[in-house]
Amino acid sequence: MSRPSKEKFDTFENVFDNHTRRNLFELSSKGNFDESTISPIKIGKEANIFSALKNGKKIIIKIYRVNTCDFNRMFDLLKRDPRFPKLTKNRRKTITAWASREFKNLHRARDAGVSVPTPFLIKENILLMEFIGDNEPSKQIKDLRPENKKFLEQVITNMRKLHKGKLVHGDLSQFNILNYHNEPVFIDFSQSMETDTIYAKEMLERDIRNISNFFNKIDIITTEEYIRKKITQK
């Protein structure tokens, strides 16, 4: 692994604040990834996604933007979550809590047997996790469409496992499911809620509607009623 150079992270000057760049340098210095191998993958609604190598193996670096995220939306969703009772309306602390919630939700989903990237480490607004793909990142199902109903059944099975783990994704759609060797992998868990919150039922219904609508559009026919029954049946 090459020796980290602070100048490398200064190339992120127009993207991330000084505090985030210092944390990236510290993580790299401690061997969590090789800074010379950082490569951009995508710019999301609230975070930038990069790949990098650790001991020759690719990992994902997800960095939540402090200055250009939808802070008010994040705060409104977090204050509804009983796991964050002492949250104050401080931008950096809110973004850190948002990233922490994704880290916790990924662990919880994984423990429930849901197919998700393994979370490795979190430092404030920086999340390191498993790279899903081979040489290139796996594509979202909007870009690499499933070809049969088996894939849909695997999606529903993962939704059921998530529900049994007392978690609801809350933003599940063709944008947040990867197609990895014809099997689904769920991603983006920062908005996910525990099933006993007052908003969970509404979020689950939205997930069910999104999945039903997408698969029907690609001629894999299903219904919301069928999906709901499979997820919630005892």
Active-site pick, 10, 17, 134, 171:
171
188 catalytic residue (yes or no): yes
CA-to-CA distance for 178 and 144, rounded, in angstroms? 8
Place of tokens 């992270």: 9
Contact 124, 99 (CB under 8 A): yes
What stretch of H or E contains 151? helix 149-164
Active-site pick, 10, 70, 76, 188:
188
34 catalytic residue (yes or no): no
Rounded (10°) CA dihedral 198, 201, 206, 210: 150
Q: Report the sign of the C-alpha dihedral through residues 206, 102, 119, 125, in that order.
A: positive
Known catalytic residues are: 171, 188
